[in-house]
Amino acid sequence: MRFLRLTVRQAHYNLLGYLRSARTVIFGVLMPVGFLVLFNSVFGGKFKTIPVDGHDISTIAFYTGGLTTYGVMLGTFTGILVAIVGAREAGWLKRFRGTPMPSGVFLAGEIIYLFVTSLGLIIVMLAVSHFGYDLSIRADALLAIFCYTVLGVFAFSAMGLALCRVITTSEMAGSVGPFTVVILSFVSGVFLAPNLLPQWLLTFSSYLPLEPIVTGIQHAIALPTGSGFVLRPFIVLGIWGVVCFVIAQLTFTWEPQRR
Amino acid sequence: MSNVIEVQGLTKRFGSLVAVDDVSFSVRRGEIFGLLGKNGAGKTTTVEILEGYQSPDAGTVKVLGVEPKDGGRLWKDRIGLVLQDSDFDPGHTVAETVNLFAGFFSRPKSVSETLALVGLTDKANVRIGRLSGGQRRRVDVALGIIGSPELLFLDEPTTGFDPSARREFWTMLEGLRSTGTSILLTTHYMEEAQHLCDRIAILATGRIVAEGTASTLIALSGSTSLRFAHDVALDIDAMSSATNLSFRVVGDTLSADLSNSQGDLLRLLHYCEAKGIVLDGLEVVRPTLDDVFLDVTGEPS
């Protein structure tokens, strides 16, 4: 009960910081929305549909699903990396360590806060596509989209945590994070239609943590029937998430790192 | 139990460097104890071992009866830490940050009481990014005392303060002591230690080279001296042999150490009276902790 109360306080504290920082709001919300508008105006007229994993889906559904997932990964993976490396560098983690706060509270507070901001981003992105580009989303698919978000926040946060030991400065975190997400996005059907990529690259990216969830969300948004659930993202991202959490558990440190 | 900290034979090495070398001291409940030393003397290493951040290589350490490395949540609930350097999230207000920390402790002070103690009441709703360095340091202290600690660690808390902020800070610490909080303070300001600390230990290259109250340390070291303006017409040798004092010329002043202040002074004044010499700006100077520090460490602080 105390753990829960402290975690909610911590998440609330983080959320306040997020809402007050122009940088996080611009990168977290305006950039994905900007990309959505941009890509849709460039390619929306050229291609009616884009083939994704055996289904032809509308261009707006393709970009809505892809760029939303991109935004979630950018926000959580980069967000947790920058937050933890920065807090460690500033001695903030060390200071927490000296209080009776249970050590899991800090982490749980970060993850819950990232989940809230991710949900916020998804709502904004779906609203822009729905009201701006007539994308209709079935109510049946909303549960699946919600579960994909939970899965994504879990796996991407775990990946960020696993890298905290080797990323020693917040400067490094601020460049490695977005760079990784952009590269991964190019091979995972976010910016480019998958049929433009060579088969070996498609096969390779299907084992990486972004492509399965991008495809899952794109299908949940676009397909006219079904629950929207596919097992593959839960297996691939589940394994990534668990492995990265174990690595993080073994390597995590609260003390500022010497450069 | 009257001692809040017991340190016996504490030693800590980093490679071939012995950072803390066989250090022993104790801090009594309710006192302000000062650890003095230059940068690199081993102050912070010692304090970090007491706080549980580092493990000793040898010796025993008890803080509130517990070995800091085994200090769990109940132990941390009873101590307050102000680390040497740590930064804040600039986007949050002072009150928000202090309130976050209040939640960690079982019997926290109220946020408004804490802010009043550190003199930040009128900054409660100001974002930390807009505070001056000295004000941020007070936020640090607020986070250290919010949990009503029995024992407070302050690692060089007033570095970067202007003189008036430092005075206010001292008053605040005296207020905390009067409520029964024991304080371990490190500093390299001698004046601060002399003003605040009930007892002092001076560290040099990892060893305690002097320990006691400020006045004991001062009494042990150097003697009281007198000085007055140097007049070229003075016959210093004649004055020396008549008064049995050895004078030194330092710039435009003459000074001499006194072994028996009253007698020495009387002889000098008699001599001058008889010779019609006027001593311009005569003063008797007691040594300060600065002199003690110079004495025991062989270097200026």
Burial class (CB in 10 A: 0-12, 13-18, 19+), A216: buried
Average pLDDT over residues B88-110: 94
In a domain, B300, yes or no: no
Residue pair A20/B97 in contact by the 8 Å Cβ criterion = no
Binary contact (B83, A91; C-beta < 8 A): yes
* B299 DSSP assignment: S
Q: Do B269 and B153 sit in the same domain of this protein?
A: no
Q: Model confidence at B200, in pLDDT bands (50, 70, 90)?
A: very high
> How does pLDDT run across A28-75, given as a tens digit for each residue?
899 999 999 999 888 887 778 888 988 899 999 999 999 999 999 999
Q: Do A101 and B104 touch (CB under 8 A)?
A: yes
What residues pair up with B201 in beta bridges, in sequence order?
B35, B211
The whole-model pTM stands at: 0.84
Q: Do B53 and A90 touch (CB under 8 A)?
A: no
B158 assigned to some structural domain: yes
Minimal CA separation from A123 to chain B, in Å: 25
Whether B259 has a pLDDT exceeding 90, the answer reads no
Q: Are residues B198 and B273 in the same domain?
A: no
Residue type, A129: S
pLDDT of amino acid A33: 95
- Residue B42 is assigned to a structural domain of this protein: yes
Q: Out of A200-214, A218-232, B17-31, which region has the weakest mean confidence (pLDDT)? A: A218-232
Asked if the Cβ–Cβ distance from B88 to A94 is below 8 Å, we say no
Q: Could you tell me what percent of chain A has a pLDDT over 90?
A: 71
**One domain, residues B207 and B263:** no
Q: Which amino acid is at B9?
A: G
Task: Note whether B150 and B270 are same-domain residues.
Answer: no
Sign of torsion, CA A84 A89 A94 A96?
negative
- Asked if residues A102 and B73 have their Cβ atoms less than 8 Å apart, the reply is yes
Range of the domain at B94: 3-213
Q: Please tell me the total count of domains within chain B.
A: 2
Residue B298 counted as domain residue: no
Residue A99 has its nearest CB partner, among B76, B85, B86, at B76
In a domain, B143, yes or no: yes
pLDDT in the model for residue B301 = 47
* pLDDT tops 60 at residue A259: no
Residues B132 and B200 in one domain: yes
Q: Kindly state the percentage of chain A with pLDDT values over 70.
A: 99
**The pairing of beta strand B199-204 with beta strand B248-250:** unpaired
Q: List chain A residues with CB under 8 Å of B139.
A: none
Same domain, B203 and B246: no
Q: Which of B163, B178, B213 is the last residue of a domain?
A: B213
DSSP annotation string for A87-103: HHHTTHHHHHHTSS--H
Task: For chain B, give the mean pLDDT.
Answer: 89
Any domain includes B219 = no
List alpha helices for chain B, DSSP H: 43-51, 73-76, 94-102, 111-117, 133-145, 163-178, 190-196, 214-220, 236-243, 261-275, 289-297
The stretch B210-239 carries a mean pLDDT of 83
Q: What is the pLDDT of residue B299?
A: 59
Bin A228: left if φ > 0, else alpha if -120 < ψ < 50, else beta: left
Residue B209 and residue B261 in one domain: no
Q: What is the band of B222 on the pLDDT scale with cuts at 50, 70, 90?
A: low
CB contact under 8 A, A98 and B91: no
Q: What is the mean pLDDT of residues B195-217?
A: 90
B256 in the same domain as B200: no
CB B202 within 8 A of CB B25: no
Minimum CA–CA partner of A102 in chain B: B73
ipTM of the complex: 0.87
B143 and A CB contact within 8 Å: yes
Task: Let me know whether B196 and B269 are in one domain.
Answer: no
Long-range contacts of B38-41, Cβ-Cβ distance < 8 Å, separation of 24 or more = B38/B188, B38/B204, B38/B297, B38/B299, B38/B301, B39/B188, B41/B203, B41/B204, B41/B205, B41/B206, B41/B297
Residues of B in contact with A15 (CB under 8 A): none
pLDDT of residue B4: 95
88-107 in chain B: CB under 8 A from chain A: 88-89, 91-92, 96, 100-101, 103-106
Read off the pLDDT band of B12 (50, 70, 90): very high
Are residues B77 and B188 located together in one domain of the fold? yes
pLDDT in tens, B116-159: 888 899 999 999 999 988 888 889 999 999 999 999 999 988 87
Which DSSP string corresponds to B103-132?
TTSSSPPPHHHHHHHTT-GGGTTSBGGGS-
Burial class (CB in 10 A: 0-12, 13-18, 19+), B279: middle
Place B300 in a pLDDT band, splitting at 50, 70 and 90: low
Contact with chain A for residue B215, Cβ under 8 A: no
Domain with residue B99: its CATH number is: 3.40.50.300
Give, for B28, the enclosing helix (H) or strand (E): strand B17-28
End-to-end CA gap in chain B: 35
Query: Is any Cβ of chain A less than 8 angstroms from the Cβ of B82?
Result: no
> Does the structure show a pLDDT above 70 at B1?
no
- Residue B215 has what DSSP assignment? H
In B, minimum Cα distance to A255 occurs at B53
Does residue B203 share a domain with residue B110? yes
Residues on chain A touching B104 (C-beta within 8 angstroms): 6, 99-101
Contact B91 A16 (CB under 8 A): yes
User: Inter-chain contact B81–A5, Cβ cutoff 8 Å?
Assistant: no
pLDDT grade for A22, boundaries at 50, 70 and 90: confident
- Using DSSP's 3-state secondary structure scheme, residue B225 falls into strand
Percentage, residues of chain B above pLDDT 90: 47
pLDDT in tens, A88-131: 998 899 999 999 999 889 999 999 999 999 999 999 999 999 99
Q: Is residue B121 part of a domain?
A: yes
Cβ-defined contact of A255 to B53 (cutoff 8 Å): yes
Same domain flag for B130 and B167: yes
What confidence category does residue A258 fall into, taking pLDDT thresholds of 50, 70 and 90? low
DSSP states of chain A as a string? Answer: -HHHHHHHHHHHHHHHHHHH-HHHHIIIIIHHHHHHHHHHHHHTTT-SEEEETTEEEEHHHHHHHHHHHHHHHIIIIIHHHHHHHHHHHTTHHHHHHTSS--HHHHHHHHHHHHHHHHHHHHHHHHHHHHHHH-----HHHHHHHHHHHHHHHHHHHHHHHHHTTT--SHHHHHHHHHHHHHHHHHTTTSSS-GGGS-HHHHHHHTTSSSHHHHHHHHHHHH-SSS----HHHHHHHHHHHHHHHHHHHHH---SPPP-
Query: CB distance A98–B81 less than 8 Å?
Result: yes
End-to-end alpha carbon distance in chain A: 39
Chain B, residues 39-58, CB within 8 A of chain A, namely 51-53
Q: Which of B50, B104, B107 to mutate to test the interface with A (most CBs of A within 10 A)?
A: B104
How high is the pLDDT of residue B233? 81
Secondary structure class of B85 (helix, strand, coil): coil
Residue B240 in any domain: the answer is yes
The structure tokens listed for B216 are 């004991």
Rounded-to-integer distance, Cα A175 and Cα A162, Å:
16
DSSP strand pairing (B225-229 vs B253-257)? antiparallel
Which residue of A6, A20, A91 is in closest CB contact with B85?
A91
Q: What is the pLDDT of residue B293?
A: 79
Domain boundary among B213, B236, B267: B213
In whole angstroms, what is the distance from residue A43 CA to residue A47 CA? 6
The pLDDT value given to residue B251 = 82
CA distance A172 to chain B (A): 18
